[in-house]
Structures are given as structure tokens and as C-alpha cells.
Amino acid sequence: MSTLQAAAGVEKRHAVFFPFPAQGHVKPALQLAKLLHRCHGFQVTFVHTEHNRRRLLRSRGPGALAGVPGFRFAAVPDGLPESDADAAQDMSALLSTTEALAPHFRSLVSGLPSPVSCVVSDIEHILYAAKDMGLQCVTFWITSACSFMMYQLCQRLVDMGIVPLREAGQLRNGCMDSTVLDWVPGMPKGICLKDFPDFVLTADPDDAMLKVALRSMACHRTTPSAVIFHTFDEIDREAIATMSTFLPKIYAVGPLPLLLGQASGTGGVGDTLESNLSRENHACLEWLNGRRPNSVVYVSFGSIATLTSEQLVELAWGLANSKQDFLWVMRDDQVNNGGDPAAVLPPEFLEETKARRYVTRWCPQEAVLQHEATGAFLTHCGWNSVLESVCAGVPMLCWPFGADQYTNARYACSEWRVGLEIGGDVKRDEVEAAIREVMGEGEKGKEIRRMLNEWKEKAIVAAQPSGSSWVNLEKVVNEVLTVPP
Ligand code: UDX
């Protein structure tokens, strides 16, 4: 393993990180920044938006942004009003702020006390600004390589006249679910339009999300000197090989929690640089301590996904009828009508499950997944959650809600075979049946646990000092991050 490098020249390394300002992006970006700081002697300036800075100060206190020697936090204005400090992470609202970040980023970088050797970001306007300033710039794509490949292929679907769709809603109604696209190199057999990010499911040629996605993909193809993925070679091999033909240099450096564990010798837990925008409730770990091994279903939909009231109620009854204990992360903004999610839950459900449920707004997810009581993860398939579940060897019940989550779910269930797919307008019986399958002794459940053991082992190997991700990290440092553009 690399150790902190005191060699000549290392003190000149200065990376500026500016991740897209959502929880699922900030966390892995901070993990990568910590690795560069700890193991490769980088000074780091980690940039938040003002909105997130306020949020961190409110949820975690001033210590959250104190930094450590050689690692400092900065913030730039994003135009979101003060009163929004605890607002939901609305993706279109966040996307609408990114262009305005660029001039503030330029002033910040110009005023930094030491010269910058590289900028690491997934925001196109920041990459353009960095390149324009003559700085080395690199995309850090925080989701799977396979989903990035799907994003990249969207332009091809547009060029071929497949997207926009001929009629609004035709795909979700099932009419085009069978439009198989596995003729594309790198695509697994039988892949369908419904496995693509959901912005392709539009009939509107002027669809704002589609336009943003196409524009941003063009940026990541042409602007950075390299694309770093939060994945590992073995799990995303086909997609990485395919994209090597049309992207800048590619480096897969995950799973970052495992690499950080190697770097610190602590298993990645107990760090002073906080990666969670919300405060975790650690009391749920006490509750897990009182549960039998593999007896609890953990339910969380990440930081953005919302459910309808009907979906929430069906899920609740599915959990109740499965007769399993469950730990459910229910954010205040979990229901898409803006109401209080707890108020949606039927009193009979609350009465029936009071001895076997624990509901919280936010938990220490990695620790929950690693806990021996956790037997399954009902997840929206955000990429961090998928990787964390693989690292913990916990079977997934995949209920995707947006963006890359459909692709992640498809790969998790059909390619890596570590989960069971549920989702859409799922009913309580399906939720119950899926839980029983993965928690019980069903054949599918057994096969999923067997595959998980294999993938977990491969992830551990990738993150070892001689493993592919560790080697790739050293390569990107030596070949790109410390080299002038
Ligand atoms: C976003 C996108 O929605 C997702 O599609 C993309 O793949 C990544 O960026 P998000 O929806 O928040 O992410 O989900 P996910 O990628 O799973 O990230 C959530 C993170 O928050 C995870 O690292 C998880 O450990 C953490 N978390 C979640 C907690 O620490 N506590 C919780 O209670 C819930």
C-alpha cells in the first residue's frame, strides 16, 4: 500500500474537489478526496455549495467543516434561499443551480493560497471552467460504469429516432418494454429501454432532463483528461472495455469504503471528516444488537427518491405481512405530496408491527448493512447503496425510482445476481413474497447469497494494496492528477 508520501514534490499536489451537491455525490467524492490526502500526499480543497454548507452546520455543528491539516472546506453561493436549508434534494432544482456555480468557482480557485494541480468534479460547468483556466481536470463519476454507458448511449438512441418516444407513457405501460437493445456493444443480453435512465422515457423532444443529460455526457466525453469511476474492474468489466473506445482514460477505484478501510486500518468507520449531510441516528444500532443474525429487513430509498402515499402503504403492509423485523429509514420528505410520511401509515399497521419495527429519519447505513442482524436491504438502487450492500454481503430487494437506479437494478438482479427486482406499482403481496424469498430458504435467496459471497470477495480483493482499484488509484495519480494538462 502507498503510505503518506514525504517525497520531494508531493507538497505541490493540490486537488480541488467540487461534487454535484447531493448526498449520493458528496459522500463518495469526500471518500476519494480523503484517500488522495491520506495516501498520496495531496492537499485538498473540498468545495460545497452554500446550501449544503448551511445544512452541514445545522445538522452537525461547526466541527463538520473544520477540516484537518492539508484538508480544508470551502463553499460557493448557489442562489438557493436561506429558508431552504433543510429542503428536499430536488434534482431539477439542484441542476438549475450548477451553471451559476462556475464564476464563483473561478474566483475561489484564483484566490487559493497554493496553486492547484487538478480539479475533480462531475459538474460539467465546473469542468469547463477548470479547463478554460488551464487546469488539469478529471470527471469523478460516482455511479456504476454500466449506468454511465447507458447515459452515453442515449445520444445514439436519439440519433436513431428511438428517443423521444412516439407517445408519452408508452414505455411504462409496457408497450415498448420488449424493445431489446442488446445489439449495442457492451450491452448485456436482453437489455431493454426500460433499463435505461428514466429521462429517455420521454415523448417530448424538448424534455429538459433529456437535454441536460445529453449535454453533460458530451462534456464528460470531451473535456476531462480522465474519467474516474466509483466501481471496480471486475464488476463493470464489459462497460469499461466498451467505453475505453470513446472516453478519455478510465480508472475504476472502488469500493471506496473498503479502500479507506485499508488506508486507515479502521474499516473506514470513525472519521472526523464527515460525509453525511444529515445527522445519523446511531441508536438504531443498539436496536439491531437485540436482534437475531440475518433477521432484519433494512429499508431505505437514499436521499432523493420519493414514494406516493399508496406505495408507502403497500410497502408497509408488505413488511408487516412478511412477519420480519425491519429498520426503515423514512425521511421527512419521503412522500411525494410533501406530507408527513408517518401520518400516511395506517394505525393497524403501527399496532401490528410495534414490537418489530424501528423507524428513523437517517441512519449510519454502512454500519447497519455490516451488522450481523441485517438480512436483506430493500433499496432504490442508488449506486452507493448497491456497492455498500455488496461489500456487506447483504441481498437486495431492488425497487428503482429514477436516473441510473433502473440500470443498477437490472445489473444487480440479472447480471451480478445479487438481488430480486420489485418496483413500480408494487403491491403488498409482492413485497411480502420477495422478502420471504431472500430472507428464507428459497432457491433464489440461496443463489443470491452465494453470488454475493463471490462479489464481496472480489470487491475485497480489488481494494487490497495490490488489487485493481488500489493500482488504478496510483495510476490516475501518476498519469493524470499530478501531470499538467
Ligand atoms: C444519488 C442518486 O439518487 C442515485 O441514483 C445515484 O446512484 C447516486 O446519487 P441517493 O439516491 O442518495 O444518490 O442514493 P445512494 O447512491 O444510495 O446514496 C445514499 C448514501 O447515503 C449512501 O452512501 C448511504 O450509505 C447514505 N445513507 C443513506 C446514510 O448514510 N443513511 C441513511 O439513512 C440513508
* pLDDT tens digits, one per residue of 127-182: 999 999 999 999 999 999 999 998 998 888 888 787 887 665 555 444 455 566 66
Q: Is the pLDDT of residue 297 over 50?
A: yes
196-254 pLDDT per residue, tens: 888 887 778 888 888 889 999 999 999 999 999 999 999 999 999 999 999 999 999 99
The yes-or-no verdict on residue 435 having pLDDT over 60 is yes
What domains can be seen in the chain, in order of their start residue? Answer: 14-147+207-270+461-481 (3.40.50.2000), 282-460 (3.40.50.2000)
Give the model's confidence band at 397: pLDDT under 50 very low, under 70 low, under 90 confident, else very high. Answer: very high
- Check if 27 has its Cβ closer than 6 Å to any atom of ligand 1: yes
User: At 265, is the pLDDT very low, low, confident or very high (cuts 50, 70, 90)?
Assistant: low
Closest ligand 1 atom to 360 CA: 33
Distance, in Å, from the CA atom of 384 to the CA atom of 143, rounded to the nearest integer, reads: 7
The span from the CA of 435 to the CA of 378, in Å, is 9
Q: How many angstroms is it from 23 CA to the middle of ligand 1?
A: 6
Which cell goes with 104? 464563483
CA atoms within 13 A on the CB side of 391: 28
- Asked if 253 contacts 476 with a C-beta cutoff of 8 angstroms, the reply is yes
Q: How would you classify the pairing of strands 249-252 and 296-300? A: unpaired
Cβ of residue 307 lying under 6 Å from some atom of ligand 1:
no
pTM: 0.93
pLDDT at residue 9 tops 50: no
Q: Which of 14-28, 201-215, 296-310 has the lowest mean pLDDT?
A: 201-215
Report in angstroms the alpha-carbon separations of 469 from 39, 220, 229, 232, 253. Answer: 14, 21, 10, 6, 4
How confident is the model at residue 204, as a pLDDT? Answer: 82
User: Is the CB–ligand 1 distance for residue 302 below 6 Å?
Assistant: yes
The values of phi and psi at residue 79, to 5°, are 85, -5
Catalytic residue among 37, 78, 122, 230: 122
CA-closest candidate to residue 268, choices 480, 67, 460, 16 = 460
Is the shortest distance between the CB of 405 and ligand 1 below 6 Å? yes
The Cα 138–Cα 286 span in angstroms is 41
Which pLDDT does position 172 carry in this prediction?
A: 46
- Is 122 catalytic? The answer is yes
314 lines ligand 1 (CB under 6 A): no
Stronger pLDDT, 266 or 269, i.e. the higher one: 266
Name the burial class of residue 268, with classes exposed (0-12), middle (13-18) and buried (19+) by CB atoms within 10 angstroms of its CB: buried
| The pLDDT of residue 440 is above 90 | no
Is the pLDDT at 306 greater than 50? The verdict is: yes
**Residue 235 phi/psi, 5° resolution?**
-80, -25
pLDDT value, residue 92: 73
ipTM of the complex model? 0.99
The response to whether residue 383 sits with its C-beta less than 6 Å from ligand 1 reads: yes
The pLDDT of residue 269 is above 70: no
List the single range of 263-267, 398-402, 417-421 with lowest mean pLDDT.
Answer: 263-267
Cα of 168 to ligand 1 centre, how many Å? 29
Mutation pick for ligand 1 pocket among 269, 303, 378 (CB with most ligand atoms within 8 Å) = 303
What lies within 8 Å, CB to CB, of 200 at 6+ separation is 154, 157, 163, 193, 210
Whole-number Å distance, alpha carbon 24 to ligand 1 midpoint, is 4
